[in-house]
Amino acid sequence: MRTSFSRALPLLVGLAAAACGAPPPKLVAPPPLSPSLAVVGATLWDGTGLAPEANAVTVVRGDRILCAGAAGECPVPAGARVLDARGQYLIPGLVDSHVHLLFLSNGSAGEELGLDLRDLLAQGVTTVRDMGNSPSALLSRVAGFEAAPRVYAMQLVAGRRFFFNGIRPVQTSRGVVYRQAPALTMQWLGWTPIQFDRDDDPEAVIAEARRVGAMGIKLYAQLDSMSVRRLTEAAHRAGMPVWGHAWVQPTSVGEESAAGMDGLVHAAGLVGELFTPEERDTLVNDGDLQSVTASVATAVTAHDPRVLATLDSMAARGTAFEPTLDATRHSLATYDARTRHVPSVQEGYVRAAAQFGVEVTREAVKRGVRISAGSDHVAYGPVGERASLFGELQLLVDSIALTPTAALLAATRDAARAIGGQPGRLIGTIETGHYADLVLLSRNPLEDIGNLESVEWVMRGGKIWRPGQLRSGIAMR
Of 142, 136, 145, the residue nearest 101 (C-alpha): 142
Percent of the chain topping pLDDT 90:
73
Reported pTM: 0.89
Q: Report yes or no: 156 and 220 within 8 Å, Cβ to Cβ.
A: yes
Which H helix or E strand runs over 391?
helix 389-398
Angle in degrees, CA 119, 188, 206, rounded to 5: 80
**Inside any domain, residue 274:** yes
Residue 179 is predicted with a pLDDT of 64
Question: For the segment 308-363, what is each residue's pLDDT rounded down to a tens digit?
Answer: 999 999 999 999 999 999 999 999 998 888 878 777 888 999 999 999 999 999 99
pLDDT band at 464; cut points 50, 70, 90: very high
Gyration radius from the chain CA atoms: 27
Q: Report yes or no: 364 and 311 within 8 Å, Cβ to Cβ.
A: yes
User: In angstroms, rounded to a whole number, what is the distance separating the alpha carbons of residues 130 and 98?
Assistant: 6
**Which residues have C-beta within 8 Å of that of residue 438, sequence separation ≥ 6?**
39, 58, 60, 90, 91, 92, 93, 430, 458, 459
For residue 145, give its domain range. Answer: 93-425
Question: What does the buried/exposed string (b/e) look like for 149-162 if buried means 16 or more CB atoms within 10 Å of the residue's CB?
Answer: bbbbbbbbbbbbbb
Average pLDDT over residues 80-92: 97
Residue 26 is predicted with a pLDDT of 65
Judge whether residue 2 has pLDDT over 70: no
Q: Is 345 helix (H, G, I), strand (E, B) or coil?
A: helix
Judge whether residue 7 has pLDDT over 70: no
Residue 317 is predicted with a pLDDT of 97
**Inside any domain, residue 131:** yes
Residue 423 is predicted with a pLDDT of 92
**Inside any domain, residue 88:** no
User: In angstroms, rounded to a whole number, what is the distance separating the alpha carbons of residues 371 and 272?
Assistant: 20
CATH of the domain at 323: 3.20.20.140
User: In angstroms, rounded to a whole number, what is the distance separating the alpha carbons of residues 464 and 477?
Assistant: 15
Residue 182 is predicted with a pLDDT of 79
Q: Report yes or no: 60 and 66 within 8 Å, Cβ to Cβ.
A: yes
Burial of 338 (0-12, 13-18, 19+ CB in 10 A): exposed
**Inside any domain, residue 49:** no
Residue 35 is predicted with a pLDDT of 83
Judge whether residue 403 has pLDDT over 60: yes
**Inside any domain, residue 472:** no
Domain count, the chain: 1
**Which residues have C-beta within 8 Å of that of residue 468, sequence separation ≥ 6?**
474
Residue 106 is predicted with a pLDDT of 62
**Inside any domain, residue 336:** yes
Question: For the segment 197-217, what is each residue's pLDDT rounded down to a tens digit?
Answer: 999 999 999 999 999 999 999
**Inside any domain, residue 26:** no
**Inside any domain, residue 42:** no
pLDDT band at 477; cut points 50, 70, 90: very low
Q: Which of 41-50, 187-196, 251-260 has the lowest mean pLDDT?
A: 187-196
Judge whether residue 166 has pLDDT over 80: no
Question: For the segment 362-391, what is each residue's pLDDT rounded down to a tens digit?
Answer: 999 999 999 999 999 999 888 888 999 999
Q: Report yes or no: 62 and 35 within 8 Å, Cβ to Cβ.
A: yes
Q: Is 155 helix (H, G, I), strand (E, B) or coil?
A: strand
User: In angstroms, rounded to a whole number, what is the distance separating the alpha carbons of residues 156 and 406?
Assistant: 30
Residue 247 is predicted with a pLDDT of 87
User: In angstroms, rounded to a whole number, what is the distance separating the alpha carbons of residues 344 and 409?
Assistant: 38
Query: Roughly what angle, to the nearest 10 degrees, separates helices 345-366 and 288-296?
Result: 60
What mean pLDDT is reported for the chain? 89
Query: Roughly what angle, to the nearest 10 degrees, separates helices 305-317 and 345-366?
Result: 50
